[in-house]
Structure 1
């Protein structure tokens, strides 16, 4: 199992300092996830020190509002607490000739509710399983096994457990598939393959989304797993109890890594997540200077220090922020 690399989690301190390129003025408006409010306010305060003529504003009522704000022109920045959905891309394409451009702007929280937490794979504490790979999770939770496992994994013995566990059935508990967490697993682990019908909601879990439904679903899963030695489920690390354990996870190929705040910040833990900013501008066109400069600021040392000060979201490691800055500069450069 991999060891913690504290230097990687602090590598954002090696990012370049922000150097303004001209004066900015006018409105800069963000729509999106309300969990960003403190982070957005912190960014705007620091960015405003460089650009006192800026007039920032925000309307943070939900990630699902962000695309509408962008394509109607009332928002300059869309703040997403999850990956963009196919339907959102479809609606965008009915208005623009280009795909929406999004950038990872911070790492999701380790265990703070509603802040795009790292996904924990939970089992009963009596379960002896030591680690799981993406391909194994795919064979448990997906119908097509796009990661190449030759057969569905339905028994704990298929994962190397012996004795009484050899023929013990795996009770796979899934998620409401409209949630951001389920979408992340679908993209990251299942490779957009369909969910298996074996993955069911735990008893008592909400069957529709509403404010607070994610917390209620996690509570139902905890109760179920505490009473089901053969169960497995997907939740957050905040949902760990003394009767449960989180399984270290490996990506194919790679070492198994336990989820901690440090391994989430360093992105060693494979089920760490990103949060995103989307913009309206077309690639290789002349971008609104306010948008380009703000995004440059976010990927600077100053920008990521605001993330660190917020305390729940985690700064991007340099290995992610650096390439995102390079991509920003390339996309915002007009074609010759």
Structure 2
């Protein structure tokens, strides 16, 4: 059972097929959600996707994507799990160089303003009123799983395993009914490791990932599937694959980095004692772009309040906010949106998790204004 009642699945599939038939590339966010969603989409559509591009969290101004697409020979571009409105004017620039259609698929779009005429948006969340009583997250991989179960389709065991891995990699399985995957605990453990491994691999290879070959190595797992394969059989085939070994090693390497960063700070990082919750601040000291993972892990270990992780880099500063699951406020993306736009290269997220790239010279301004904003809530 999926939470996409506001979308016409058949119409969307037909539209996606029309784009790929005339030639389309896919750009995806460099994590488990975006990467697996791109692979699942390739297995669902009638025509192959021409090429893939991985957009890291450092590239949300879309400039590297624009440079890449200008060298492509196709007319259409599909984006998955990319917050195209997190950087002002980025979507307009992207649409300006795409001769055909830009199809944006995401749950939180940021401030896109009026989309250009050649842009179509599939908003994965229902309207704002409906959001008040429903989960405020709809991962792209969950949407692709929804497409794979259309009346004309038959979701395979491997497709189900990949979708589950994407949800585990995104850390949102607690928000959705995963009983429909019919996965035992062993399968769930493998899916969690696979999903987190993909995010780790993307982090370790953020500047050199060969997106097309990586995505197609995931697609190949589906193509090698024999008819009627169960999710249990699919997971065992994944466990024995060379790809899984690569992902497992990536996950171990990144996990050591994250645990080290959290361990250095978590016992001495109380920043703000707000009225209803505490806020913890962690500064990172590592070459890896793990500011989001550190924020999530610190939230899990501290177990309450809000965590703010900060990574000051050569050209900019990355900041990530995470809210404990046992509190209902503050709305983290709104906290960031209330700050001055000139501070940021990009910003976005949702109520429980949000992040931004800050112009380095405004780092302290952001932290002070964020502190004041928190104290007002």
Query: TM-score w.r.t. structure 2 length?
Result: 0.31
Q: Say which one has the larger Rg.
A: 1
Q: Which has the higher helix share?
A: 2
- RCO higher in 1 or 2 (8 Å CA, sep ≥ 6)? 1
